[in-house]
Structure 1
Amino acid sequence: MRQRAWVPPAGETVTLLSTGERWDAVRTHTAIAARAFDVLDGIEGSAAIIDPHTCTAYWLLPPREAALAPWEQWERLRPYVTVLPARTDTSATYLGVPPAGRHNSPGLHWRVPGGWSGQYLSRPAILSAALAPAVLAVHGADALPLRCQVCDRAVERDRAVTAVGRRHPDDPVRRRLTAHRACARHAHLTIEGPAQ
């Protein structure tokens, strides 16, 4: 993992910076962020940017490390969580970054947890893991697609099946699994029917 030592510009004004150079960025609604902070404050001591005018929260990740969390996890969190695209040859995504010392509203500011580590960049795997239950807490149990227990990718509820068998050949017991129909067949599971 890359260094998480990046710090925002000093001064008094917000600076517009492009994603993908100094850091990647993840965006969500502040209601989801508030639930995620309940988990993250105990295990991930990094700051997040809060925009109270748009009710948006942003976490910054070391550049090109969003993909270190399973990309399927980010895909599963859409449309509630967005990984902002990095700069390309033809376009860039810009984010307003508050100065390092701005930790309070009004306006764009850093939300720092109690016992803050001084880090402005978050760890992708921890962040994505904390955002999933936060989305479910805010939007309900059906907000996210199910996860196939064979391939770990998202599976739409109406396309999932319940199957019985071993997830891996060396699993000691057979159990009930939710899976894509094709994954269940490939793993030689006994398909019972549509997922409940």
Structure 2
Amino acid sequence: MIDLGWAPPVGGDVVVAPAGCEWDAVRASTAVASAAFQILDGTENCAAIVDARAGWVYWLLPPGERGGFAHWERLGQYVTLLTAGSGTHYVGVPPSHRPAGPGLHWRITGEWSGRYLAQPYYLGAVLTSAVCLAHGPGALPGQCAWCERELDPAYAVTVHGRRAAGDAEPQPLSVHPACARAARLRASSQEPRA
């Protein structure tokens, strides 16, 4: 189970902390965040850090849990994942008592859950929709119908296969070359993919 129990400092001022230690962070523009808040409010009531001066909003995730959402790479042009790795990324974290600006503050909704950490998979799915709302339906690259990872159309192959359990007949699927064999095998086995 994912631990969502982290909380920011209670008093004092903004603390600059490295991503990847106590939490990972997701950074998005205020345009994407505004669209995300329309979806998140009332469903995933976790807090977000707003940096109005820089035009960024940050959501904090449990450290190392970003793998729960496989599509972060598709969002890369609009959303930045800040984790432990080759370079250290620092995020300004406001104290818990600062729910409004000026300056760094927490965005907390009226139905706030009391959580400062977001659920990675849910947030990732919401940000995917938010990018499309903010920048149009063609903003994100396509994805492989088999593994659902980013798919460059120049390298896509088309196979006949079943993508979902409800698919009665094999259908044309755009997939990575490496996924093509698995998709063909699933189609020939007459067993829909679970």
TM-score range relative to shorter protein: 0.7 to 0.9
Tell me the residue number matched to 1:27.
Answer: 27
Unmatched tracts of structure 1, length 5 or more: 191-196
The CA deviation string for residues 31-70 of structure 1, in whole angstroms up to 9 with x for no partner, is: 1011111111232110000000011000001111112222
Contact 1:145 1:156 in 2 (8 A): yes
Q: Aligned-pair distance for 1:167?
A: 3.1
The CA deviation string for residues 18-40 of structure 1, in whole angstroms up to 9 with x for no partner, is: 11111111111011011111111
Unmatched tracts of structure 2, length 5 or more: 188-194
Contact 2:48 2:107 in 1 (8 A): yes
Matched, 1:62 2:58: no
The 5-angstrom pairing of residues 153-192 of structure 1 reads 153-167=149-163, 171-184=167-180, 187-188=183-184
CA distance in 2, matches of 1:137, 1:170: 28
Contact 1:21 1:87 in 2 (8 A): no
Amino acid at match of 2:8: P
CA shift in 2, pair 1:169/1:98, >3 Å: closer
CA shift in 2, pair 1:5/1:159, >3 Å: same
Identity %: 47
Aligned length: 186
Higher strand share: 1
Q: Aligned-pair distance for 1:94?
A: 1.2
Amino acid at match of 1:84: L
TM-score, normalised relative to structure 1:
0.85
TM-score, normalised relative to structure 2:
0.85
Q: Aligned-pair distance for 1:186?
A: 5.1
Amino acid at match of 1:117: S
The 5-angstrom pairing of residues 52-131 of structure 1 reads 52-70=52-70, 73-86=71-84, 91-131=87-127
RMSD: 2.3
